Amino acid sequence: MTGQIRLAAACCLLLFAALLVNAARVQVIQADSLDRNPANRRAAIDRFEQPRGRILVDGRPVTGSRDTRQQLRYERTYAQGPLYAPVTGYASQTYGTTLLENAEDGILAGTDPMLAPLPFWNDITRGRRPGGSVVTTISSAAQRAAYTGLDGRRGAVAAIEPATGRILALVSSPSYDPGRLSGTGSAVADTWRRYNDDAAQPMLNRAIRQTYPPGSAFKIVTAAAALDTGAVEDVDKPTGVPDPYVLPGTRTRLPNDTRGCDQESLAYAIKWSCNSVMAGLGVRVGLDGMVDAVGRFGFNDRRLRIPSGVAVSNFDREMSDDQLALSSIGQYDTTATPLQMAMVASAVANGGNLTYPRLVERTLDADGDTVSRTGQRSYGRAMKPSTAYRLRQLMVDAVETGTGTSAGIEGATVGGKTGTAQHGVGNSGTPYAWFISWARADGAARPAVAVAVVVEDAEAVRGDISGGGDAAPIARAVMEAALAEAR
């Protein structure tokens, strides 16, 4: 019997060996794929196990946390949800994260290796650190001015400090309350569905994720290209572009909204927004020159991050001359985000130097010590300093005596450009009102702010829409707020 008992014992040993090998297979070899399985809730539970770090505006948190004692424990709250939604985004148990909440998730959730006291600390302790804070560049005064200025109308505002690239305001209207997406359950799902079904698209971040035909506001870019390439040498000399201007190779006449544009100078064209002159200059610069110039302002850049991704502002790379003519006055396929147009104004204000826009000043750990700083970096030289100097003069003229008079501010130099963009099939859609501008306090060395405003108001009567009427007052309010801060 002894032999049989030994053999039976060996069989039992084999069973245990099989168990151990299989346990090693599950716990070591397959562990990663099992951990990553979307149905595995552990990652989500761990993620919401601790309060999320704070997003700060002007040193004050605009976010908070609510302890629900549920499985996904801490839910995100927002102090002024709709106001800051285009900046913060949402951080939802159900729908994930967007915008800053997404881009700085590692810091806010405490998983960023930079938060750990030692390298590989998180891997060893398998834990996460308390969430850190994200200090934004937003100025609450400018943000609020933009938000109240839009007053629920569809539109967006982006404001940048030209010298540093700090984004002072990023507003999209109508907005939504990201706090109502925090958590789980039917209330959250209902809110999500309502926001998504809403025709006004409250969850669309119009400031960086929506592109619009820039219309006449784009003429600044065309003017910069014309001056840089030498297509125009003297802004006050007649350009010789006839009115009416017939699009090259077609019989289509390009209409002007203003009179007296025939053969006019660049200065007049910018001040009174002549389509014919600017379209002609665009063709004169040529496709390669235009594509080159717009690229230096940030058009066609798929890698623009602030740190959230920004929708690509488009200027076609292959066109016939008639299409180029239309593109040069911000029509045809030319589209831009409000942030992109703020960058255009910023480049002009900053002497031709375009500073890379950024939304995050620095990140802090839970104790308030700095983890990282977002360095200021140049996007590149958008135009020659002399060109920028001339364009500043032209934009100041437009505000003082031209189309943008409603943007003027006491005690500051303001330059601006209006835009009214046709869109839709056969231009049947309500035009968008644009205004891009910059402001420098009298006596200050640098301009305090560059801003772009777009208003797409479906309710207004067509004739009332113009950059000067709808968008310029909003831009002025934002600039005033920024100037007050800069003092």
Partner 1 sequence: MTATTGDPPPPEARVAKRRGVELSLLVGAVLISVLGYAAVGLALDAAAPPDALTHGAGLGLLALVAHLAVRFRAPYADPLLLPIAVLLNGIGLVLLHRLDLATPGERDAPAQLVWSTLGVALFIAVVVVLRDHRVLQRYAYLSMAAALVLMVLPIFFPAVNGARIWIRIGELSFQPGEFAKILLAVFFAAYLAANHNALACTGRRIWWFQLPSGRVLGPVVAIWLLSVVVLILERDLGTSLLFFGLFVILLYVATGRTGWIAVGLLLAGVGAVAVGWLEPHVHGRVEDWLDPFASIDAGRGPGQLAQSLFAFAAGGMFGTGLGLGRSVLIGFAAKSDFILATAGEELGLLGLTAILVLYALLVARGYRAGLGLRDPFGRLLAVGLASIVALQVFVIAGGVTGLIPLTGMAMPFLAQGGSSVVTNWVIVALLIRLSHSARRPLPEPVEAGVIAPAVVVAGPVPGTGPSTGTTATGGER
> Residue 272: CA atoms inside 13 Å, Cβ hemisphere, count?
15
| Contact stretch for partner 1 (CB under 8 A) within 10-18, 54-62, 171-179, 247-255 | 10-18
Q: Does 13 bind partner 1 (CB under 8 A)?
A: yes
Query: Least distance to partner 1 from the beta carbon of 33, Å?
Result: 8
* Binding-site size, partner 1 (CB under 8 A): 37
The interface mask with partner 1, positions 91-120, x = CB under 8 A, is ------------------------------
The span from the CA of 112 to the CA of 132, in Å, is 9
Q: Does 4 bind partner 1 (CB under 8 A)?
A: yes
- Between residues 5 and 445, which has the closer beta carbon with respect to partner 1? 5
Q: Does 461 bind partner 1 (CB under 8 A)?
A: no
Within 10 angstroms of residue 61's Cβ, the number of other Cβ atoms is 15
- Between residues 125 and 320, which has the closer beta carbon with respect to partner 1? 125
The interface mask with partner 1, positions 16-55, x = CB under 8 A, is x-xxx-xxx-xxx-xxx-xx-xxxxxx--x----------
Nearest CA among 416, 391, 382, 388 for reference residue 294: 382
Query: Least distance to partner 1 from the beta carbon of 17, Å?
Result: 9
Q: Does 317 bind partner 1 (CB under 8 A)?
A: no
The span from the CA of 438 to the CA of 32, in Å, is 52
Q: Does 70 bind partner 1 (CB under 8 A)?
A: no
According to DSSP, the β-strands at 378-381 and 133-136 are unpaired
Q: DSSP label at 49?
A: S
The verdict on whether 386 is a catalytic residue reads no
Give just the sign of the alpha carbon dihedral 98, 99, 101, 105.
positive
Query: Least distance to partner 1 from the beta carbon of 222, Å?
Result: 53
Q: Pick from 12, 118, 199, 425 the residue near partner 1 by CB under 8 A.
A: 12
Q: Which residues contact 302 (CB under 8 A, 6 or more apart)?
A: 312
- Residues forming a β-bridge with 158: 170, 452
- Between residues 41 and 373, which has the closer beta carbon with respect to partner 1? 41
The pair of three-digit structure tokens given for residue 377, joined into one six-digit string: 């970096």
Site for partner 1 in 390-419 (CB under 8 A): none
Q: Which long-range contacts (CB under 8 A, 24 or more apart) does 385-388 make?
A: 385/351, 385/352, 386/227, 387/224, 387/227, 387/228, 387/352, 388/224, 388/347, 388/348, 388/350, 388/351, 388/352
Site for partner 1 in 174-193 (CB under 8 A): none
Site for partner 1 in 242-271 (CB under 8 A): none
Nearest CA among 444, 340, 451 for reference residue 395: 451
Query: Least distance to partner 1 from the beta carbon of 320, Å?
Result: 51
Query: Least distance to partner 1 from the beta carbon of 124, Å?
Result: 10
The span from the CA of 349 to the CA of 391, in Å, is 9
- Between residues 26 and 189, which has the closer beta carbon with respect to partner 1? 26
Q: Pick from 67, 119, 126, 251 the residue near partner 1 by CB under 8 A.
A: 126
C-alpha R_g of the chain: 28
Query: Least distance to partner 1 from the beta carbon of 102, Å?
Result: 24
The span from the CA of 390 to the CA of 255, in Å, is 26
What's the length of the chain? 487
- Between residues 123 and 257, which has the closer beta carbon with respect to partner 1? 123
- Between residues 15 and 445, which has the closer beta carbon with respect to partner 1? 15
Active-site residue identified among 92, 175, 182, 216: 216
- Between residues 13 and 189, which has the closer beta carbon with respect to partner 1? 13
- Between residues 20 and 458, which has the closer beta carbon with respect to partner 1? 20
Q: Which residues contact 167 (CB under 8 A, 6 or more apart)?
A: 137, 138, 158, 159, 160, 306, 339, 357, 358, 359
DSSP letters along 59-90, please?
Answer: TEESEEEEE--SSS-EEEEETTHHHHHHHH--
Query: Least distance to partner 1 from the beta carbon of 366, Å?
Result: 17
Residues that bind partner 1 (CB under 8 A): 1-13, 15-16, 18-20, 22-24, 26-28, 30-32, 34-35, 37-42, 45, 126
Task: Report, as residue numbers or ranges, the catalytic residues.
Answer: 216
